[in-house]
Structures are given as C-alpha cells and as structure tokens.
Structure 1
Amino acid sequence: MTILESEKPAGKIKDPVCGMTVDPRDAAETLEHAGKNLYFCSSGCATKFRHDPGKYWPSEKLQPPSAASDHAASASRSDFICPMHPEVRENTPGSCPKCGMALEPEMVPATLARTEYICPMHPEVVRSEPGSCPICGMALEAKAIANGEENPELRDMKRRFWVSVALSLPLLAYMIAQLLPAPLFSHGIAARIWTWVEFALATPVVLWGGAPFFARGWLSLKTRNLNMFTLIALGTGTAYFYSVVATFFPLLFPASLRGPGGEIAVYFEPAAIIVALVLLGQVMELRARSQTSSAIRALLGLAPKTARRIDQNGQESDIPLDKVVIGDKLRVRPGEKVPVDGMLLDGHSSVDESMISGEPVPVEKSTGARVTGGTVNGTGSFVMQADRVGADTVLAQIVRMVSQAQRSRAPIQRLADRVSSYFVPAVIAAAAATFIVWFFFGPEPRLAHAVVNAVAVLIVACPCALGLATPMAIMVGTGRGAGAGVLIRNAEALEIFEKVDTLIFDKTGTVTEGKPTLTSVVPLRGYDEKALLQLAASLERASEHPLAHAIVTGATERGLTLPPATGFRSLTGMGVSGEVSGMVVAAGNEALFRELSIDPGDLKESAEAMRSEGQTVMLIGIDGRAAGLLGVSDPIKASAVEAVRELKASGLKLRMVTGDNRVTAAAVASQLGIDYDADVLPNQKSEIVKALQARGSLVAMAGDGVNDAPALAQAQVGIAMGTGTDVAMEAAGVTLVKGDLRGILRARRLSQFTMRNIRQNLFFAFIYNALGVPIAAGILYPVFGWLLSPVIAAATMSFSSVSVISNALRLRNAKL
C-alpha cells in the first residue's frame, strides 16, 4: 500500500460536484483543495471542479485568513477572456459582450498565479472560465492551456458538429437528389411526408447544434454589439422558422406563393446544413486559434515540475516546484532543467539558454555564475542557490510580458473596429433590401427567391475575418519573438517599429559588453592606491551603475574590505558623493568636480591619455581635494560591428548617445563607423530624441540603464537590453532577453513580417466581404443567371475566418 492510499479515509464521501457517494479507495480522481483531499466519481466532475472550485466548494470562504492566503498562493486561478477582445475578463464561462465569441480559459501554472480566458478580437474581454465573448461571440481561448488539455469550447463544438453532421447528411442527400433529372419525392403526398422528415431531422440540428449561435446572437442584441452570430442567428432562424410556419400552417400562405403542386417551399435542409458548416468552421477556427498560443505553452513547458533540494543535513529530495523558496540549495543534474533563477554555488557545466535568449550556443557556467529557470543543463552537475522563485523568475516575467502583448491592440486595429461597427447593420440592411427587391421584382417563386437570397446575404458576411486579422497576427508574432529572445510589451510597439527610421543607442551595455572591468588606479601624490580604491568602492557600492559595479568588483578581487558609506547622494549625469570612514568622498566626472568646487589640477592630462585608450575615467575627490583617477574598460561586443552593419543596410540611421566623455565615445564610434553624442546627461538624451522627432523622424532608442529610462519612454519605440535594469525594461516597448544589438535587427524583422501579415489578412477580409455580399444578393443573376446557395455561403464564411488564422500561423516559421 502506498502512502497516499494509507491516508485515504475509510467510509463514503460525497463528490463535491455531483453529490454522488464515493468510496475514497475507488475514486476516479483525487484533488487537494483548501488543505483537504477531495474525491471524485469521474474525471468529468474533477475537470468541472478545477474550472470553478468556488462554485462547488463554498466553504472555502470560511477558511481562516492564513489558510486562505496559503491556498491562494499555491493554487492556480481561473479567468476567462475573449480571444478577440482580451480586455473582456470574467471569472465564469460565457460569451464576449462585444463579439459574441465564447470566452476561453487562460491557464498559467501556480507559480505564475493565474488562469485566464480572453477574446482574440477584444483583448478587454477576460474571464476566469470558458465561454464566449459577449461582444463578438467568439469562443474565449486560454492564454495557455496547461497539460495539453483540450479547450472545453472546442470539445463542445466538436460534439455538436458530429451530431449535426449525422442528422444533416440525409437532408444533403435529398437536396442533391432534387437536382437529378427525375427528382425523388415529386409526388405531392411523398413531398409532404418528406417535409415532416426534414422537420424532424433539422430541428435538433438548428435548435441544439445551433444553440450557441442563437445564444450569442441574442446576447449581441441585448448588449447592442451586433456581430457575426447576429447574422448567423438571423439567417438560419429565418429559414428554419419560415419553414416551420409553412409546414404547420400552410393555409396562411396565399395561392400566389405556392408551387405548381400547391406545396409551399421549405428550407429545413439549408438551415441544418448551414448550422453544420458553421460548426465545422468553429471547430477548425478553435483548433487554429489554439495554435496561436503555442508560444506561451512552450514557455510554460520550460519550467520543470520538481526541483531537487538539498537540506541542512546534505540529504537530497525531489519537491514540487512551487515549494522552492529563496535561499534553497538545489542540485541540477546533467540534462535536467534549471528549476528557478539563482547563483551557481558548486560545480560547473554548460547550459543551453536558447529557449530564453534565442542563441543556440551553450553558455559555460562556473561558481558564482547566474543561471535561469527553464534553461537546460548540459553534461555537468552543479549546486545552485535559489534567489528568484515563482512569479519573480525570468521565465515568469517573459510569460507575463508575452501574455500582455498578445492581449494588447495595435493602432491598425482601429480601422477594422471602425468598419466592423457599421458592418453588421449594413449587412442586415442589405439583406432586407435583397428580400424586397427579389420579392417584388424577382422571378417566380418570388418568396422563395427572396428568402433564399436574403439568408445567403446574412450568412456569407463575416465580420470575424476583419476582427481576427490583426489580433491573430499579433498573438503569433509576439510568440515567435519570444522564441527568438525578443519580448514585445505591446502591439503598438510592434506596429511602429516597422516604420522607425532612426535608431539611437547607449554605449555601455548596448554596444559594449556592459561588464566593465577596473583596469587602472592612479592616485595623486600623498594618496595610497589601495586606500583610494577602498574609499571609492565603498561609496560606489550603493550605486547600480555598471561602472560602479566594476569598481566594487575590482576592490573585492584585490582583497579590500569595504566600510559602509553614509549620506550617499547621486548627482544625475555627474557621479556620486558620500561619507566613508569620516571622509567626504566624491567619484565622477569633471562636471561633478565643478559642482563640488574641487580643482582637478593635474588629473585632466592623465585622464585624457587614459580616455584616448578607450578607458572610461572616474575622478576621485577626498575632503574637497583631487585624490586620483580610476580607469575602467568596457570592450565592444563581438557582435556589435556586424549588427551595426546590418542595421545600416536595413535603412536605419544610427547614432550612439552616451554620458561618457567625448574621447572615449569617439574611440568606440570610430570602430563602429557611426555618429555619436558624448557627455550627454539623461535628460539631454530624451531632448535629443525630441529634437529628432520634431524633424519628422520616427525614433527607436536602445539602452539598458536607469539613465536611459527617460529617453526610452520618449522614443516611439524603446528597446531595453535584457541584461539591464528593471526600470529600463519597464520604460521600453521591446526587451531583448540577451543584450545584443542583433536582437534589434530581429525585432525589426519581426515587426515587418507581422505588419505585412496583418495587411494581407485585412486585404483578404475586406475583399471577401466586398465581393461576397453583392454576389449573395444576386448581382450576377441578371447577367449570368448565377445565385449563391446559402449552403455555399455558410461554407465560404466559415473558411474565411480559418484562412485568416492560417495565414497568421505562418509567422511561427518566420526567419528572424
């Protein structure tokens, strides 16, 4: 007997979903919830409980605060969102109030702390359970489905589709038979009998199979957000209920509306077949849409389920990932995934970081190196210490950023929204006009032609193709970018980046490695080299600037102890000052010395000589007097020269803007062959961006530090290097996971591919509707005698949405 089995209580327990009595030893599934084990009679009941535990376990509200908070921290939460309107968010299943689509589940593991369903056309529609978008009627889809579970909306549509197909096939066979030279059931009595058979077969198809469409259509009327399902409900409902009246109350129709044998034409078969075809389209669309979130699922799949923890006694044991806490020592064996972010304490290995950075070459790791959760260990084994867990890991932040980007709306979407707002009323008006024209001016039987063509107009129109054109491409494009180490914060940045003509970037950490090292310590006469470095490093320890880190690291490597600094003050664009061991210490550039009235004296000449060698020089003052110089070198990245060349070839104007001095900046710029601005303060960087924008330029700014944040926010597109600070990433629209200029080129290509795809989708959607509606109305009939059958109209309408999604899915294979 296993431990789990020994803990199962004896006796009978009620299934919390259906109330059925269950023997815990024979339960189909067992779940832990609110600190208790719950037992289910079937997997179906367990699935329902997972989607909405609060509905079946109200006692959860009675938990003590501590228990409730503990549970909330470890459990996933369900939200439902509209895939067309991600801003629509609900905690129960339903339809999007804007487009009528079913809300879909957004599933994120417990470590990422939420499960959401969104509408792809309306990002504002967000729900915690499956359903349809109340705006457009589309099924909400999960931002990511855990464990490969099938979307419940897709499962329901498939069931309705297959039942509808089984009942519609005899109707389709009859329709085809009527086109033969000697049609079946031509005798009046046989025809009347077959009418009743049609009614019996079509009724469950229309009323049960098409129930979601009628529900969404009704919701669209209540919320005054007319959409595709309004048209489908009107079209099939008109054909079906007209046929019901004709079948049950034939005497209501005058003789002029009857056929040669006195019978009244009915349209059960087109109504049923239309429902079956629309269901087929929904199944295909849901399947295709589920692939758009494959990037999120792939990212979520990077996180391992367990971690191997080493306790204080040196014993190792596997624990669930959500049980890992900061400070835990974890063993990572060869071939295993790194569980969380942390620092390597013992051992060495090569780690495959391609799934995070997009770079295929494994990175060597040794003691002191940082490792990222979700990356794959190579052949070595190492011990690491966890310092970021749960929602704070890099992987969780990437998933969160990609999810937000996929729910955002691009400015180009406004065009589709504007057209869609008038589209459905215009189609209904066109259908009414079609009915009137055919009824009064069409050939006999006039009523039959009027009904059939009006229904065809209602059915053929597809506002969803317009609505899906942009969000589907955005979802796939942002997912593709994540796989290449390019994180898009919002769709607007993705759209604008294609149009950018000027790229400004910082030097430190952007074109250079961003890992400067201390290379020179030059004290003036009367000052000791070690004492000078010790005082400067103690002061710089309070700063997060890369140069400060280099000085602190250099002092530590030389074995110096660093006393605490008090009164620390950072002077933007100049340097820092404070008190260390009773002495007032200042470290920065000449501007800082002028601000503090310190005479640099002979330091100027020495500083210029060091700068001409490419070193960044920091002047040190102690108690109001010049004390010495510190030189820091930051080598140019190996990839920077190639990246700059390719960026130039793409038509971008490049300019390096740095707070470093002119001599050092010139040394770097000459190697890259670009223009530069030096001695630029942070507020001046944003002013440079504004000046370029005033001249009509569309500017992108790339940087990695706090001092870059104002310029990143001012630029049309801000690009944060992933190795930089959180402030820079928050201000940017694009983040490069690996701080590499080649990532900017990948981001630009991604923007170009995505916008081209959106334009293709919108063009197809506009052309389809512009041609489909007039043809369905019968515009070709006077010349060619052609009419569009409502059945064919339903097929083309369904496949129009699928084709838009399929085209968007091509972005998954885009070569960046």
Structure 2
Amino acid sequence: MKHTYHIHGMTCNGCRSHVEETLSKVKGFTKASVNLEKAEAILEMASHIPIEIFQETLKNDGGSYSIHNHGDHHPSTEKKEEKPKVKGTGIFYCPMHCEGEKTYNQAGDCPVCGMDLVEERTIASASVQFTCQMHPEVIIDEPGSCPICGMDLVAVEADASEEDKTFKKLLKKFWIAVAFTLPIFLIAMSEMISNNPLYQLLEQTYWNWVQFALSIPVVFYATWMFFERAWVSLKTMNLNMFTLIGIGSGIAWVFSVFAMFFPSVFPDAFKTPHGNVYVYFEAATVILTLVLLGQLLEAKAHSQTSGAIKELLKLVPSIATLVEDGEDKIIAIDKIQQGNLLRVKPGEKIPVDGVIVEGRSHIDESMITGEPIPVDKEINDKVSSGTINGTKSFIMKAEKVGSETLLSQIIHMVNMASRSKAPIQKLADRISKYFVPIVIIVSVITFITWAVFGPAPAYVFAFVNAIAVLIIACPCALGLATPMSVMVGVGRGAQSGVLIKNAEALEKMNKVDTLIIDKTGTITEGKPSVESVISISDLDNTTLIQYIASLNQYSEHPLAEAVVNYGRAKQVSLIKVDDFEAIAGKGVVGTVGNNKVAVGNVKLLEQLSISIPEDLSIKVKNEQEQGKTVSYIAVDNDAVGYVTIFDAIKSTSKNAIKELQNNGVDVIMLTGDNKNTAKAVAEQLNLKHYKAECLPEDKLNEIKRLQEQGKVVAMAGDGINDAPALAQSDVGIAMGTGTDVAIESASITLVKGDLQGIVKAKKLSHKVVKNIKQNLFFAFIYNVLGVPVAAGVLYPVFGLLLSPMIAALAMSFSSVSVIGNALRLRKIKI
C-alpha cells in the first residue's frame, strides 16, 4: 500500500534525509521515499497508517517540517514570502554519539555529555551562490552576468561551517580569559616571593579584591558555558565532564568569594599566618582557562577528523556547461536535471553521474577509487561526479543528479558510518555511566581523609586535593576514544574506494578469518564476451544466435548482456519472447517465435528433463577446462548446441587472494558455474577451496555452516543472487560494479569492485581497531593513574601533590591526545 503526502519545510537534501529517517521510525511502516524538488513523500506500508501518526512523529522530532495530504489547507502555505535559504545542512550530531545516531536540527550542546554538536557535511552544504566583483551586494543563486554592470558573476566563498564558527567563538573567549587570568595568576604567585613588592603597594586583603574583580569576566563570560552545561547535567542527571568542572572550579570560586566577605566564619585551619583566609581565584580561573584551551584544541581537531568529507566536497563543481539547442550555457550544478546533455571540458570536474554520448577522454578517478592511473572512457562508458576530466572534451548525458550521484552517496555513507557505534565502545559506555558519580565520591573521601589525617593546614590540603580529583578526571577521553578513530578511519577508507556502512562492520572485518567470493564480477572482470556459438543440429548458427539473443534481452545477468551484445554485433534482429522466466542459478527459458528455447547450465536441462548428447557433453567439457563459461542451448526440448563465454580474470585478483591468505584468511570461491570452469579458475588463482554449481541457497547454507563452526565469515559478491548470502555473512562486501540490491545488503562497498579493495578493507579495519585500543588504553590509564595522584597517594612516600591547575591542564590534553592519535589514521597506507 502506497500513499503520497506533501512535506512542508524542507530546504535542502539534509532536510530530505532527516525527514526520510524520521518517518522511517513509525511502527508498522515499510519504506519512505522523500522527494525534495516535489516536496512530497511516498510512504509504503503493509496496512493503512493514519496521517496523524506521521504528523505527530515529525512534531515530536522538534523540526520545522509538517506532512499533509495533497491539497489540504494549512497556515504555513498561506504565506507567499520566500524563506531565506539555509546555509549548511541543518543536521547536527554529538561527536561522542551519546544517543546513538540521533541528530538535531540546530547547533548547540549535546544534552547528555554537553559537548558542542557537530554539523553533518553533505553535498547540500557545499552549494554556492554567485556575486559580482564590482557590485558585491548582488547575490544570485545562478551563474550569469551582473544585472548592474554586465560582468560575469563569480562563485561566493561558502559560509564558515558551524565548527569554524565554534572555533572562532572559543578563540575570542580564550584570549579574554587569558587577559584576565594572567594578572590573577601573577598576583597569587607573588606570594612565593620574599618581601613581596605587591604588598608594599596594597595589603593582601585588597589584592584578593583585585583578583575577585578580575575573575568576574572569566567566570561569567568567557567560561560561563561550562557552568550552564554543568547545571543541565545535574538537572537531567546526565553527569559528565562539565559536571566535574562546574563543581570543582565553582566551589573554588564561591569559597573564595565567601572567604572575602565572611572571613571570621572560617577556623584557623583555613587561614594564612597573617590571619587571612586562603582564596583560590587563581585556581578557579586558571582551571577554567585551561579547560577552555582544551575545548579550543578539540574544536580544531574535530574539524580535521571530518577532513575526508571536506576533501570529497571540494570535488563538487559549482557550475556546469549545459548543451541545449546546439548552444552551450553555464548553469549552477543544482539546476542539472536527469537527461540533460553536459559538455565537460579538459581539466574540469565531472558535475554529475552519467554516460558519455559524444567524444572520449581519460578520467582521473583516484579521488573515488583510490587508484592513481587515469581510466580511458569512450562513448557509452559511465562517468562519476567529482572525477576529473583529462585533456579532451566530451559530451555526457546526466543520469543521476543531486543526492543520487555516487559522490553524494559516498558522503552520505561516510556520515552515517561516522555516527554509528562500534561494539568495542560498549565497555567505555558502561564505565562512563558510573564514572562521574565514582569520581565525586572519591573527591569527598579525599577531603575527609586529608581533613582527618593530613598535616596542617589540613583543611586547605583537603580542599585543594578534593578539587584536583574532580578536575583531573576525564570521562570525555573515554567517550571520544572510539568515535574519533571510527570517523577518521571511515573517511580514510572512502578516499581509497572502501565505503564502510557502519562501525560494527569496520570492527568485525578485523576478525574475519574466512572470505567467500563469487566468480563472475568478483574474481573476473564482470564484462563477459561471447567467444562462439556452436550448433550440433540442423539449425544454423545465425538462427541459434537470434533465439538466444532474443531470449536473453529480458535478463539482467552479465552473461545475458554478453549474449545480446553478440547478437547485435552479428546484426541479427531480436524477436518477441513469450513466457520468459529466469531460473536463479540455472538459466533462462521462454518461447521465441513458436519454439521453446532454454539457455543455461546442466541443472537447467535436468530440471527440464532434457538429455545431453555425449558428443555435445565432451565439447562443452573441453571448453570448460580452459576456464570458460559454457551455457547449453535447447530448442523444443532438444539440446542443440552451446554458447562459449569468456570473462577475463582481473589482473589484481591473484595478488589480492595471495595477500589475504598470507594474512590468515581462508579464501573460498562459491560459483554457479560448472565444476570444470571453477577448477580451472581456482588453479590459476591457487585457491585450495572452491565449490561449483552453487545456487543462491547453497551459498547461504555454506555461510551458515561455516558460522556454526565458529568462523567469522565475510562474503564478497556483486549480483542479486548474492544478496541473501551478503546479508547472512558477518561482513557483506559488495563490489561497486554490482547491483543496488547487493550494495544495500552489504556492510562494505568497494567502489572499484576489485578484490584488492578487500585487502584495503582488512588493513584499514586492523589499523582502526588498533587505534581504538590505543585510545582506550590512554583514556583508561590516564584516569586510573591521574585520580589517585590527584588524591595525594604519592604524598606519604614522595611528598608530591598535584595542583588543581596542573590537573586541569592534564585533563584538557587527555581528550586532545586521544583525538590526535585518531588523526594519525589519515596518513596510514592501505
């Protein structure tokens, strides 16, 4: 059952994706397909779901979107005023994935951990506007000439991302904090100088008032956001890093203010030899300033973790050349429509996915596939958006535009994978849940222990060490350990043509010990060609070719396409076919003219109860032993000949299989082809294990059998028949040259459709998992050692105590060190 509704409030592809995901969460509902241009949603469901449920879902999501029946009256449509265009995607997420894949529609703080939300990068956020260099007030959505002076308009630099804005805002606040904190720090440290010259100007009491005055801009402006986040965390009981910072620095500052106004309340244990109560304005402001420095460095590092997506977005050109009525016209890329003819000039980026209809050139696809060698393209060859044309010009027909292009899908997949959680993160999540309460308890115990057993002034030692415990603990380092590595690793994979659907697949790939591979399109080029058609009956070859080409024109299989192309090359006319049927893993049957024709393997002929003459069987076997695929041809229940198809083995297959085997991966070939062909291919590739004549269910059952033995199985395939096996495997790997169904069923997609990509995926997985473990070790060991040291466990033996200011510095750099370690993945070789 399908219903079409109007969607109001979408302004970009980010909105479209968000609405699609939100509607997909409705219970009892099958599929949502949202169209931005038409502002409508096609919703598929098993049984009718009232529109009110969808309306409530969108309302509860907090967005500005609404859903209505076509033609319904609603107030928002009465206004004819055009909404200003939204820059960026309008989709934000927490870098620590506190709430899984949940996203928000505006910038702000994560309601769980308090960290700044990060904006998702998509093709929509890369769209540009155009202006005149002579008249900058002119801002137009399309290229053209200035309406004032006639000069060509130029692209406007994109607005700064939310990350950049956050960084600039933090930088401004940091310098303000430093400007006021530095004098406070110098005043406090001057107490260590004998005959303090400052005390000759004013008494210590007055200098305390100076520190108090200087601390106000730091606490109530530059770092006030930390206290806001701390308050929210306490109110919602989502205790986090800011809870500890807010409590620790807040207590130090409030204590100091109270000590100034009511010094007589405090016992002598809190006072200096001169009778003044110790104040901690320098500790509070230095702590807050150092935490602000950490946030600043994190913001800078965060922008680098999404560097791979930024580089991919740079591949999107802002304009394209439309060929219309024989004339060239410059248009904005978002104005391109399916079926448009586009001229691509030398050195230009290809604007959308399509096919060459005139001319030829060589294309640099390294930014998509990771392979540096340009690929020759000619008429009927497909080209992808973001790749770069060589030295020749050609005309292409647009087939996929906007969010449908390969580049857009890659960016979307990287975004989704970056927001997913790896299983290894569960341990950190469990610990983080109890971490902050435990630290607060340890801080209280520290205060009591020092107050009871510490040396004079005991309460001062107790107070300072309790604050140090609160400040040094860093739950953020634990929270960031996994997502930062996943984000950078997924981006690095995308740059090498390895697309990861989710973090779980990335982690599992490291554990894979068995790889199942198909033959056609996986080991071989997937571009089979007919070598010969042999008849052993009275039917001549031309008639036989006409029969099999006509029959195969209705099949999507690569072998069928090869037969049809062969027929066209032989200039035979294709005739109508009735009762066509494709039998999975066996072949095709149908009525061509008045003849029942079947083309397929032995199993097909057995199913049809057609006997195979001995001489035909011998000829076919000889062809198969040379690694060729042979399909029998039967007409009116008689085996009358065969067609020989050759599909070359990819040049990279042998080395890739050898490298996987050397890394402890057992490679098994499961193919629907016959035993002789399978054996010949296996011998060429030094494959010890293979099975021939496999139906789709055979591949599925073999994977289940291996999994029952405790094997971690990856499956690589490229056809519809492979979809069940891809879904069953621990890690499904789709070759990018394959069908959409196979890619949807897979966890990893190889853009180039090459076994070498599996080697890259295995290496990437190993290095990312290793990086995650390093990060988790750094985070765990830092907190395990840092908290006891801050509590003063080294004091009885070594006389060492940790200043809260040093604790703040260490805490700030713990998260930065985790992000820095994750960033090393950008440079790894896979």
- Note closer, same or farther for the CA distance 1:74–1:166 as it changes in structure 2 (3 Å cut): closer
Residue matched to 1:785: 799
Q: Deviations over 1:472-491 (max 9, x none)?
A: 01111111111111111111
Q: Distance in 1 between matches of 2:588 and 2:161?
A: 53
SS in 2 for 1:584: strand
Letter in 2 for 1:176: M
Q: Distance in 2 between matches of 1:560 and 1:181?
A: 106
Task: Give 1:545-584 correspondences, 5 Å limit.
Answer: 545-584=557-596
- Note closer, same or farther for the CA distance 1:207–1:538 as it changes in structure 2 (3 Å cut): same
Q: Distance in 1 between matches of 2:542 and 2:78?
A: 55
Say whether 1:718 aligns with 2:729: no
Say whether 1:378 aligns with 2:380: no
Residue matched to 2:471: 459
Report the alpha carbon displacement of residue 230 of structure 1 after superposing the two structures with TM. Answer: 0.7
Unaligned residue ranges in structure 2 (runs of 5+):
1-36, 39-61, 66-72, 129-157
Letter in 2 for 1:272: T
Report the alpha carbon displacement of residue 113 of structure 1 after superposing the two structures with TM. Answer: 10
Q: Distance in 1 between matches of 2:270 and 2:390?
A: 79
Q: Distance in 2 between matches of 1:155 and 1:225?
A: 28
Q: Distance in 1 between matches of 2:301 and 2:183?
A: 29
Is the 1:352–1:376 contact (alpha carbons within 8 Å) kept by the matching residues of 2?
Answer: yes
Residue matched to 2:783: 769
- Note closer, same or farther for the CA distance 1:53–1:686 as it changes in structure 2 (3 Å cut): closer
Report the alpha carbon displacement of residue 148 of structure 1 after superposing the two structures with TM. Answer: 6.3
Task: Give 1:228-307 correspondences, 5 Å limit.
Answer: 228-307=241-320
State percent identity of aligned pairs. 50
- Indicate which of 753, 757, 763 corresponds to 2:771: 757
Residue matched to 1:21: none
- Indicate which of 521, 530, 555 corresponds to 1:518: 530
Q: Distance in 2 between matches of 1:247 and 1:354?
A: 66
Report the alpha carbon displacement of residue 147 of structure 1 after superposing the two structures with TM. Answer: 6.3
SS in 1 for 2:338: coil
Deviates more, 1:472-481 or 1:246-255: 246-255
Q: Distance in 2 between matches of 1:773 and 1:74?
A: 45
Report the alpha carbon displacement of residue 110 of structure 1 after superposing the two structures with TM. Answer: 2.6
Residue matched to 1:623: 636
Q: Distance in 2 between matches of 1:567 and 1:328?
A: 37
SS in 2 for 1:316: strand
Deviates more, 1:437-446 or 1:226-235: 437-446
Residue matched to 1:737: 751
Residue matched to 2:381: 369
Task: Provide TM-score, normalisation by structure 2.
Answer: 0.84
Report the alpha carbon displacement of residue 72 of structure 1 after superposing the two structures with TM. Answer: 12
Report the alpha carbon displacement of residue 621 of structure 1 after superposing the two structures with TM. Answer: 2.4
Residue matched to 1:601: 613
Say whether 1:814 aligns with 2:808: no
Q: Distance in 1 between matches of 2:126 and 2:201?
A: 67
Residue matched to 1:505: 517
Letter in 2 for 1:259: T
Task: Provide TM-score, normalisation by structure 1.
Answer: 0.86
Task: Give 1:622-771 correspondences, 5 Å limit.
Answer: 622-674=635-687, 675-771=689-785
Is the 1:178–1:184 contact (alpha carbons within 8 Å) kept by the matching residues of 2?
Answer: no
Say whether 1:200 aligns with 2:213: yes
SS in 1 for 2:432: helix
- Note closer, same or farther for the CA distance 1:394–1:643 as it changes in structure 2 (3 Å cut): same
Report the alpha carbon displacement of residue 179 of structure 1 after superposing the two structures with TM. Answer: 2.1
Report the alpha carbon displacement of residue 812 of structure 1 after superposing the two structures with TM. Answer: 0.5
- Note closer, same or farther for the CA distance 1:107–1:746 as it changes in structure 2 (3 Å cut): closer
Unaligned residue ranges in structure 1 (runs of 5+):
1-33, 36-51, 115-144
Report the alpha carbon displacement of residue 63 of structure 1 after superposing the two structures with TM. Answer: 6.2
Q: What is the aligned length?
A: 732
Q: Distance in 2 between matches of 1:73 and 1:612?
A: 64
Say whether 1:91 aligns with 2:102: no
Task: Give 1:181-192 correspondences, 5 Å limit.
Answer: 181-185=194-198, 190-192=203-205
Letter in 2 for 1:413: Q
Q: Distance in 1 between matches of 2:576 and 2:459?
A: 92
Letter in 1 for 2:810: T
Is the 1:518–1:631 contact (alpha carbons within 8 Å) kept by the matching residues of 2?
Answer: yes
Task: Give 1:9-88 correspondences, 5 Å limit.
Answer: 64=77, 77-85=89-97, 87-88=101-102
Residue matched to 2:597: 585
Residue matched to 1:355: 367
Q: Distance in 2 between matches of 1:688 and 1:423?
A: 45
Is the 1:112–1:396 contact (alpha carbons within 8 Å) kept by the matching residues of 2?
Answer: no
Q: Deviations over 1:743-766 (max 9, x none)?
A: 111111111111111111111111
- Indicate which of 190, 196, 199 corresponds to 1:177: 190
Report the alpha carbon displacement of residue 303 of structure 1 after superposing the two structures with TM. Answer: 1.2
Report the alpha carbon displacement of residue 282 of structure 1 after superposing the two structures with TM. Answer: 0.4
Q: Distance in 2 between matches of 1:684 and 1:715?
A: 13
SS in 2 for 1:452: helix
SS in 2 for 1:702: strand
Residue matched to 2:54: none
- Note closer, same or farther for the CA distance 1:337–1:208 as it changes in structure 2 (3 Å cut): same
SS in 2 for 1:561: coil
Letter in 1 for 2:176: V
Report the alpha carbon displacement of residue 606 of structure 1 after superposing the two structures with TM. Answer: 2.6
Letter in 2 for 1:729: I
Q: Distance in 2 between matches of 1:113 and 1:612?
A: 55
- Note closer, same or farther for the CA distance 1:654–1:235 as it changes in structure 2 (3 Å cut): same
Report the alpha carbon displacement of residue 667 of structure 1 after superposing the two structures with TM. Answer: 0.7
Letter in 2 for 1:671: Q
Is the 1:473–1:757 contact (alpha carbons within 8 Å) kept by the matching residues of 2?
Answer: yes
Is the 2:290–2:808 contact (alpha carbons within 8 Å) kept by the matching residues of 1?
Answer: yes
Root-mean-square deviation (CA), in Å? Answer: 2.6
Is the 2:118–2:163 contact (alpha carbons within 8 Å) kept by the matching residues of 1?
Answer: no
Letter in 1 for 2:553: R
SS in 1 for 2:574: coil
Is the 2:522–2:753 contact (alpha carbons within 8 Å) kept by the matching residues of 1?
Answer: yes
Is the 1:277–1:798 contact (alpha carbons within 8 Å) kept by the matching residues of 2?
Answer: yes
